[in-house]
Amino acid sequence: MEFLMGHCYWLLWTLGGLCAILFYLRHRKRIHAFLLGSVTGLTALVLLHFYGGAVGFVPTLCLTNLLVCTVFGIPGVALLALGSLFPG
């Protein structure tokens, strides 16, 4: 159980990455699905940046966060939020 608690953050990122890859591969229009996921992820990141104080999570608009939300979409935003729960 201690192994799981110590590596929970990385397990969540792995599961999130697999979900995003499977989501994009299952669609017939993969580019359309990727663009839709990217736009929704970036929109969620920007909304959280400006209005995240209400929920207690205000991500910065740095290049790393932008890339994560572009590739993973909304699950990437959720993983960034979970990352604030598991520091370091």
List pLDDT tens digits, range 9-26: 777 778 878 887 888 788
Q: Which residues contact 66 (CB under 8 A, 6 or more apart)?
A: 42, 45
Residue 61 belongs to what domain range? 2-85
Q: Which of 27, 14, 28 is nearest to 72 (CA)?
A: 14
Contact 76, 68 (CB under 8 A): yes
What's the structural domain count of the chain? 1
Cα–Cα distance, 44 to 50 (Å, whole number): 10
Cα–Cα distance, 42 to 6 (Å, whole number): 29
pLDDT tens profile 31-81? 888 888 899 999 999 999 999 888 888 999 999 999 989 988 888 888 888
